[in-house]
Amino acid sequence: MHMQMMSGQAAGASVPTEPGQGAFAAIQEIVAILEADSDTDWSKVDIDALRAHLVDMNAVTLAADVKSEPVPGGTRFLVTGSGAVQDSVRRMVKAHAAAMNGVDGWRFEASDIDGGASLTVWPPAKDAAKLRGLGFFGLMGRGMHHQNHHMMIARGESPHL
Protein backbone atom coordinates (compact mmCIF):
# COMPACT_ATOMS: atom_id res chain seq x y z
CA MET A 1 0.00 0.00 0.00
CA HIS A 2 2.84 2.37 0.89
CA MET A 3 4.50 1.67 -2.44
CA GLN A 4 1.22 2.30 -4.26
CA MET A 5 0.90 5.64 -2.51
CA MET A 6 4.49 6.53 -3.40
CA SER A 7 4.13 5.58 -7.07
CA GLY A 8 0.63 7.01 -7.36
CA GLN A 9 1.83 10.57 -7.83
CA ALA A 10 0.57 12.14 -11.02
CA ALA A 11 3.31 13.18 -13.43
CA GLY A 12 4.40 16.73 -12.63
CA ALA A 13 2.51 16.83 -9.31
CA SER A 14 4.13 18.63 -6.43
CA VAL A 15 5.51 16.40 -3.70
CA PRO A 16 5.74 17.69 -0.14
CA THR A 17 9.24 17.89 1.29
CA GLU A 18 8.39 18.32 4.99
CA PRO A 19 7.80 14.94 6.65
CA GLY A 20 5.33 16.49 9.08
CA GLN A 21 7.22 17.16 12.32
CA GLY A 22 10.63 18.63 13.12
CA ALA A 23 12.05 15.83 15.28
CA PHE A 24 10.85 13.22 12.79
CA ALA A 25 12.44 15.26 9.98
CA ALA A 26 15.77 15.40 11.84
CA ILE A 27 15.72 11.63 12.39
CA GLN A 28 14.72 10.98 8.77
CA GLU A 29 17.54 13.17 7.47
CA ILE A 30 20.14 11.49 9.67
CA VAL A 31 18.94 7.98 8.77
CA ALA A 32 19.31 8.89 5.08
CA ILE A 33 22.86 10.18 5.69
CA LEU A 34 23.80 7.04 7.63
CA GLU A 35 22.35 4.78 4.94
CA ALA A 36 24.25 6.65 2.20
CA ASP A 37 27.55 6.32 4.10
CA SER A 38 29.16 2.95 3.37
CA ASP A 39 31.39 3.44 6.44
CA THR A 40 28.45 3.59 8.88
CA ASP A 41 29.05 1.17 11.75
CA TRP A 42 25.48 -0.03 12.31
CA SER A 43 26.52 -1.85 15.49
CA LYS A 44 27.07 1.58 17.11
CA VAL A 45 24.16 3.53 15.61
CA ASP A 46 21.66 4.67 18.26
CA ILE A 47 18.69 6.50 16.79
CA ASP A 48 16.82 6.06 20.09
CA ALA A 49 19.49 8.21 21.81
CA LEU A 50 19.02 10.88 19.13
CA ARG A 51 15.26 10.78 19.69
CA ALA A 52 15.78 11.19 23.45
CA HIS A 53 17.94 14.25 22.78
CA LEU A 54 15.31 15.72 20.46
CA VAL A 55 12.70 15.15 23.19
CA ASP A 56 14.95 17.14 25.55
CA MET A 57 15.26 19.94 22.99
CA ASN A 58 11.48 20.05 22.60
CA ALA A 59 10.86 20.06 26.36
CA VAL A 60 13.31 22.89 27.00
CA THR A 61 12.12 24.99 24.07
CA LEU A 62 8.40 24.62 24.69
CA ALA A 63 7.94 23.85 28.39
CA ALA A 64 10.79 25.39 30.41
CA ASP A 65 10.36 28.57 32.43
CA VAL A 66 13.19 31.08 32.27
CA LYS A 67 14.00 34.02 34.50
CA SER A 68 17.05 36.17 33.95
CA GLU A 69 19.09 38.32 36.27
CA PRO A 70 22.05 40.57 35.55
CA VAL A 71 25.48 39.63 36.85
CA PRO A 72 28.61 41.75 36.46
CA GLY A 73 29.49 41.56 32.76
CA GLY A 74 26.71 39.16 31.81
CA THR A 75 23.43 37.47 32.59
CA ARG A 76 22.34 34.46 34.63
CA PHE A 77 19.37 32.49 33.35
CA LEU A 78 17.42 30.39 35.83
CA VAL A 79 15.78 27.66 33.77
CA THR A 80 13.22 25.43 35.47
CA GLY A 81 10.46 22.98 34.77
CA SER A 82 8.56 20.24 36.47
CA GLY A 83 8.88 16.49 36.07
CA ALA A 84 10.74 15.36 32.98
CA VAL A 85 11.25 18.98 31.87
CA GLN A 86 13.58 19.55 34.85
CA ASP A 87 15.80 16.66 33.72
CA SER A 88 15.76 17.89 30.11
CA VAL A 89 16.75 21.39 31.27
CA ARG A 90 19.71 20.05 33.21
CA ARG A 91 20.98 17.91 30.33
CA MET A 92 20.53 20.60 27.68
CA VAL A 93 21.89 23.55 29.65
CA LYS A 94 25.02 21.72 30.79
CA ALA A 95 25.70 20.27 27.33
CA HIS A 96 25.24 23.63 25.63
CA ALA A 97 27.47 25.42 28.12
CA ALA A 98 30.21 22.85 27.55
CA ALA A 99 29.90 23.07 23.75
CA MET A 100 29.83 26.88 23.57
CA ASN A 101 32.19 27.91 26.37
CA GLY A 102 34.96 30.00 24.85
CA VAL A 103 33.44 30.26 21.36
CA ASP A 104 33.93 33.80 20.05
CA GLY A 105 35.13 34.87 23.49
CA TRP A 106 31.83 34.07 25.25
CA ARG A 107 32.07 32.32 28.64
CA PHE A 108 29.37 29.92 29.82
CA GLU A 109 28.90 28.32 33.23
CA ALA A 110 26.09 25.91 34.10
CA SER A 111 25.01 24.35 37.37
CA ASP A 112 22.01 22.53 38.79
CA ILE A 113 19.45 24.50 40.80
CA ASP A 114 16.16 23.47 42.39
CA GLY A 115 13.85 22.56 39.52
CA GLY A 116 16.42 22.86 36.74
CA ALA A 117 19.69 24.60 35.93
CA SER A 118 21.30 28.00 35.85
CA LEU A 119 23.26 29.25 32.88
CA THR A 120 25.54 32.23 33.43
CA VAL A 121 26.90 33.87 30.30
CA TRP A 122 29.60 36.51 29.96
CA PRO A 123 29.97 37.82 26.41
CA PRO A 124 32.76 40.09 25.22
CA ALA A 125 31.81 43.71 26.04
CA LYS A 126 31.05 44.42 22.37
CA ASP A 127 28.34 41.70 22.46
CA ALA A 128 26.44 42.85 25.57
CA ALA A 129 23.45 44.04 23.52
CA LYS A 130 23.53 40.82 21.52
CA LEU A 131 23.20 38.79 24.73
CA ARG A 132 20.17 40.85 25.77
CA GLY A 133 18.61 40.40 22.32
CA LEU A 134 19.24 36.66 22.16
CA GLY A 135 18.01 35.82 25.64
CA PHE A 136 18.14 32.22 26.79
CA PHE A 137 16.47 30.62 23.78
CA GLY A 138 18.55 32.54 21.29
CA LEU A 139 21.67 31.42 23.15
CA MET A 140 20.54 27.81 22.97
CA GLY A 141 20.13 28.11 19.21
CA ARG A 142 23.43 29.90 18.70
CA GLY A 143 26.19 28.02 16.92
CA MET A 144 26.02 25.57 14.06
CA HIS A 145 27.27 22.66 16.17
CA HIS A 146 23.80 21.14 16.59
CA GLN A 147 23.73 19.19 13.34
CA ASN A 148 27.14 17.60 13.96
CA HIS A 149 26.10 16.98 17.56
CA HIS A 150 23.04 15.06 16.34
CA MET A 151 25.15 12.99 13.94
CA MET A 152 27.50 12.07 16.78
CA ILE A 153 24.60 10.95 18.98
CA ALA A 154 23.10 8.89 16.13
CA ARG A 155 26.46 7.26 15.41
CA GLY A 156 26.69 6.18 19.05
CA GLU A 157 29.46 8.67 19.88
CA SER A 158 29.47 10.85 22.98
CA PRO A 159 29.39 14.52 22.00
CA HIS A 160 29.47 15.70 25.63
CA LEU A 161 32.97 14.59 26.59
CA pair distance 112, 42, nearest whole angstrom: 35
How far apart CA 91 and CA 127 sit, in angstroms, is 26
Higher pLDDT, 149 or 113: 113
**Is the Cα dihedral 138, 136, 95, 45 positive or negative?**
negative
Distance CA 40, CA 157 (A): 12
Burial degree of 32 (CB within 10 A; 0-12, 13-18, 19+): exposed
Banded model confidence at residue 14, pLDDT cuts 50, 70, 90? confident
What's residue 4's pLDDT?
A: 45
51-60 per-position pLDDT tens digit: 999 999 999 9
Query: Is 100:143 a contact under the CB 8 Å cutoff?
Result: yes
Please tell me the distance from the alpha carbon of residue 25 to that of residue 51, in angstroms, as a whole number.
11
What integer pLDDT is reported at residue 11 of this predicted model?
Answer: 63
